[in-house]
Amino acid sequence: MKVLVLNTGSSSVKYQLFKMPEELVLCSGTIERIGDTEARIRHNSSKCSVDKPLTIPTHKFALKYIVGLLLDKDKGEVQSIEEIEAVGHRVVHGGHTFKSTVEITSEVKSKIKELFTLAPLHNPSNLEGINVAESIFKKAKQAAIFDTSFHQTIPLKAYKYAIPNEFLDNHHIRLFGFHGTSHKYVSQKAIDYLDNKKAKIISIHLGNGCSISAIRNGESKDHSLGFSPFNGLIMGTRSGDIDHTLIFYLVNTLNYELDEVKSILQSKSGMLGLTGFNDLRDIIAEAKRGNKKCKLALEMNAYRIKKYIGSYVAAMNGLDCIIFTAGIGENSKLIREMVCSEMDIFGIELDEEKNNKSKSGILEINKNNSKVKILVIPTNEELEIARQTFDLFK
Ligand code: ADP
């Protein structure tokens, strides 16, 4: 079965075409800056490689362009559009409704729409991707894979907020958890690597969005992102944990409009708000040049992660393994070093030499005698989505 995986963001589409169950990647690519005059396509397959600027006004146009590449007579991967039997869509927020991967129906789409207010940066574009894919791949089955599903095993005492009961009972206000596809994929890799199904794992996903998960027996037990993908760690543009009374203060005392506060906390805070830079590579380079704001932001970032590690060790009464994953986790030796420094109380001991190595696949970076294994595991949310889509329709 050929399964197309789509991760549709507000201005980008990431895609991979898989042959399942062989898990063979036939092609992959990204279209970035949709709606901008400087959109760019990067497409790779065994037959061709494309990397060029072009004008892509809409998501529909983007998907049609991708289909054009897939169907290309000489360089394409399929001869007819019907060969793609299933499309798997990443959907960020599944709320309390979606506990697992589902086939997309009109009812599913309206439920995803109802959740727009909970994930305003993600769910609208995810649904746009679904609508566009339905109009193009008319015969293919479509599946929604939710970032929240993996966290359904978090116990009540961890997902319930200490606010009046009616808010959970009547309005489903609770911690949901995100990046579940990534945490599931890398923790399963770690379980296989450790050969220990019961391992107590802390999985740290550090990309533009950042989150940390406590995982035991292969199940999510607690998570740093909550009701929406906002809480917890310091992210690219999101503040993570704050005292919520500062929202009242900004509105009531400093006279900000509520929408402005939302935009400050979601899009102008985090590493961007602290440094003026969004990309961690720039922040590290600046810190090396002596930029004090960047140095402090890196320290704050690592400190926040350390605090979560401590609380999750307590929550699980132990720790066997820490995983670093996603853009920053996989690539930033510095952040890994800062997070793991002075953590020997928990049996976490990083080996600097191993941390400086690069390797495809799993990289073990702890000292030989470290009680806790520290693993760098490249995430592969697309493969996890392809697996779940295939399992649903095979
Ligand atoms: P997304 O959440 O958009 O999927 P990614 O997982 O691709 O994000 O991570 C993107 C982030 O990874 C960028 O903001 C960049 O700061 C960071 N990154 C990528 N490579 C490196 C590197 N070599 N060193 C430090 N940070 C890196």
Tell me how far the alpha carbon of residue 195 is from its chain's centroid: 25
Domain boundary among 112, 146, 180: 146
Locate 269 and state its tokens. Answer: 């805070």
Residues 6+ apart with CB under 8 A from 262: none
Q: 178 lies in a domain?
A: no
Domain boundary among 124, 146, 168: 146
- What is the rounded distance in angstroms from the CA atom of residue 3 to the CA atom of residue 16? 8
- What is the rounded distance in angstroms from the CA atom of residue 341 to the CA atom of residue 241? 22
Q: How far is the CA of 207 from the centre of ligand 1 (A)?
A: 5
Task: Pick from 5, 279, 338, 379 the residue to mutate for probing ligand 1's pocket: most ligand atoms within 8 Å of its CB.
Answer: 279
Q: 170 lies in a domain?
A: no
Does 113 share its domain with 205? no
**240 and 231 in contact (C-beta within 8 Å)?**
yes
Name the DSSP letter for residue 350: B
Q: How far is the CA of 201 from the centre of ligand 1 (A)?
A: 22
**Residue whose structure tokens are 């991760």:** 7
Does 243 share its domain with 360? yes
Question: What CATH number is given to the structural domain containing 66?
Answer: 3.30.420.40
In what helix (H) or strand (E) does residue 374 lie, and over which residues does it extend? strand 373-376
Does 360 share its domain with 222? yes
Q: 249 lies in a domain?
A: yes
Q: 205 lies in a domain?
A: yes
Residues 6+ apart with CB under 8 A from 254: none
Nearest CA to ligand 1 atom 3: 208
- Torsion-angle region of 373 (φ positive above 0: left; ψ -120 to 50: alpha; else: beta): beta
Q: How would DSSP label each residue in 140-168? A: SEEEEEETTGGGGGS-HHHH--SS-THHH
Domain hosting 312: range is 197-376
Does 226 share its domain with 330? yes
Does 107 share its domain with 207? no
The torsion defined by the Cα of 262, 268, 270 and 274, in degrees rounded to 10, comes to -140
**Residue whose structure tokens are 């791949």:** 137
Q: How would DSSP label each residue in 50-96? A: EEEEE---SHHHHHHHHHHHHH-TTT-S-SSGGGEEEEEEEES--TT
Residues 6+ apart with CB under 8 A from 219: 153
Phi, psi dihedrals of residue 360, rounded to the nearest 5°: -80, 150
- What is the rounded distance in angstroms from the CA atom of residue 261 to the CA atom of residue 239? 12
Locate 153 and state its tokens. Answer: 């095993």
Does 201 share its domain with 119? no
CA angle 213, 176, 145 (to 5 degrees): 90
Name the DSSP letter for residue 237: S
- In this prediction, residue 169 carries a pLDDT of 95
Does 52 share its domain with 112? yes
Nearest CA to ligand 1 atom 21: 331
Q: 202 lies in a domain?
A: yes
Looking at ligand 1, which atom is closest to the CA of residue 280? 16
Residues with CB under 6 A from ligand 1: 207-209, 236, 279-281, 326-328, 331-332
Residue 391 annotated as catalytic: no
Nearest CA to ligand 1 atom 19: 327
- What is the rounded distance in angstroms from the CA atom of residue 171 to the CA atom of residue 190? 36
Does 116 share its domain with 240? no
Q: 157 lies in a domain?
A: no
- Torsion-angle region of 297 (φ positive above 0: left; ψ -120 to 50: alpha; else: beta): alpha
Q: What Å distances lie between residue 241 and 17, 74, 251, 324, 394, CA to CA?
A: 37, 51, 18, 20, 42
Residues 6+ apart with CB under 8 A from 275: 283, 286, 291, 293, 294, 297
**212 and 233 in contact (C-beta within 8 Å)?**
yes
- In this prediction, residue 82 carries a pLDDT of 94
Question: Which residue is catalytic, options 51, 74, 147, 320?
Answer: 147
- In this prediction, residue 35 carries a pLDDT of 85
- In this prediction, residue 357 carries a pLDDT of 93
Q: What Å distances lie between residue 84 and 36, 80, 145, 225, 352, CA to CA?
A: 29, 8, 18, 34, 46
pLDDT profile of the chain (394 residues), mean per 10: 93 94 96 87 93 91 91 91 96 92 97 90 91 94 96 97 97 94 97 98 96 98 94 96 97 98 95 95 97 98 98 98 97 98 97 93 97 97 97 96
Q: 187 lies in a domain?
A: no
Does 238 share its domain with 365? yes
Number of domain units in the chain = 2
- What is the rounded distance in angstroms from the CA atom of residue 301 to the CA atom of residue 311? 16
Locate 25 and state its tokens. Answer: 């990647």
Does 142 share its domain with 211? no
Does 122 share its domain with 270? no
**Residue whose structure tokens are 């607690």:** 222
